[in-house]
Amino acid sequence: MANLSVDFCSVKFTNPFILPSGIITEVNEHKRAVEAGVGGVTLKSLTYEKREGNPLPRVWKYDCGMINSVGLRNAGIEKGSEEIAVFLKENKQAPVIVSLFATKLKEFLFLVEKIVPLNPPFIELNLSCPNVDDEFGKPLGMEKGAAGEIVKAVKKISVKVPFLAKLSPNVSNITEIAKSCENAGADGIVAINTAGPGMIIDINKRKPVLGAKKGGVSGPGILPIAVRCIFEIYEAVKIPIIGMGGVSKWQDVVEMMMAGATLVGVGTATYTKGMKVYDELKRGLSEYMEKEGIKELKELVGVAH
Ligand code: DHB
């Protein structure tokens, strides 16, 4: 096997594959991905209050991927942070990214203050859930002003824990949001969150399939959107990028790295191929590196520019 290890914000990952947030909902269940050999895991975004989530069905497969509207189902910060403390103690082989979501700046800061003492390797600020609107009708952090303001405030209280901003592709200019996060002190960018939102209609029932009618689109159909976003962000910022969105084959991994990703998230593909997808990707990537004479994955990052 070729050397698949990667340094990201001075943290060592044994391979570049990350489980994106929300693929697994229960904190302790993330050990399934760790046992399957993933490089790092992102936990489901935690919110201030416990959330039951949206009406069923919340997830639906279609020809080019998946559509979901989970509605940020999670235990809430009090119980969630206790579960995370245990998980962090028990899981040392793959770095853990704790993901947080809020609809108000004050709430975001409260969540960060609760998580920082647990000293996780990373915190991810989910600035981009498509299924929860803020009081003005759109998610917080979908424009550069609000995103920069959140990141700047978080930077002041997250001195020792590196944090990442997760961005939505559903904006007119993802580059300026990424830049504003970098200027405000973010340590890295995660791109992209799900696309859309989209809708699928059951033509027999004559109704949208999802309980919440619309949801975020993921899977192979959104890969070109993700690659374009990562390409543009790479040109705009110096901080490293975790690229994700539609990756299911080793060729997609290479493409995403060439666009500018240092680490690569693989989520929806675990629904179609199971957790063994990480082994398949490692094998494919390793053979490619040996064939091309690539010693370290960083040689591939951004070469398409
Ligand atoms: C949900 C959150 C997301 O960030 C996303 O991309 C899709 C779905 C959710 O919990 O509804």
Beta strands in the chain (DSSP E): 6-8, 11-13, 17-19, 40-42, 59-62, 65-68, 96-100, 122-126, 163-167, 188-191, 195-199, 201-202, 207-208, 214-218, 241-244, 263-265
Res 142: pLDDT: 82
User: What would the pLDDT profile of 72-115 be if each residue is shown by its tens digit?
Assistant: 999 999 999 999 999 999 999 999 999 999 988 999 999 999 99
Q: Kindly give the distance from the C-alpha atom of residue 23 to the centroid of ligand 1, in angstroms, as a whole number.
A: 10
153 near 184, Cβ under 8 Å?
A: no
- DSSP letter for 43, please: P
Res 273: pLDDT: 97
18 near 277, Cβ under 8 Å?
A: no
User: What would the pLDDT profile of 207-251 be if each residue is shown by its tens digit?
Assistant: 999 999 999 999 999 999 999 999 999 999 999 999 999 999 999
What mean pLDDT is reported for the chain? 95
How far separated are the first and last CA of the chain, in Å rounded?
28
b or e along 185-196 (b: 16 or more beta carbons within 10 Å of the residue's beta carbon)?
Answer: bbbbbbbbbbbb
Residue 48 CA from chain centroid, whole number: 19
Res 67: pLDDT: 98
User: What would the pLDDT profile of 8-35 be if each residue is shown by its tens digit?
Assistant: 999 999 999 999 999 999 999 999 999 9
Domain boundaries, the chain: 6-299
Res 136: pLDDT: 47
pTM, whole model, 2 decimals? 0.97
Which residues, other chains included, contact 191 with Cβ-Cβ below 8 Å and sequence gap of 6+? 166, 167, 169, 174, 178, 226, 229, 230, 233, 241, 242, 243, 244, 245
- The protein residue with its alpha carbon nearest to ligand 1, atom 7, reads 216
Hey, which residues are catalytic here? 129
The residues that bridge with 7 in the sheet, in sequence order, are 12
User: What would the pLDDT profile of 24-78 be if each residue is shown by its tens digit?
Assistant: 999 999 999 999 999 999 999 999 999 999 999 999 999 999 999 999 999 999 9
Pocket of ligand 1, beta carbon within 6 A? 22, 68-72, 126, 129-131, 193-194, 216
Top-tier CATH class for 6-299: alpha beta
Res 59: pLDDT: 97
Res 131: pLDDT: 67
User: What would the pLDDT profile of 123-163 be if each residue is shown by its tens digit?
Assistant: 999 998 776 655 445 667 788 888 999 999 999 999 999 99
291 near 8, Cβ under 8 Å?
A: no
Neighbours of 1 (CB within 10 A): 11
User: What would the pLDDT profile of 160-187 be if each residue is shown by its tens digit?
Assistant: 999 999 999 999 999 999 999 999 999 9
Res 133: pLDDT: 59
CA distance 50 to 261: 33
**Residue 266 corresponds to which tokens in the numbers above?**
């693989």
Which of 66, 70, 73 for mutating ligand 1's site (highest number of atoms within 8 Å of CB)?
Answer: 70
Res 145: pLDDT: 87
Res 128: pLDDT: 81
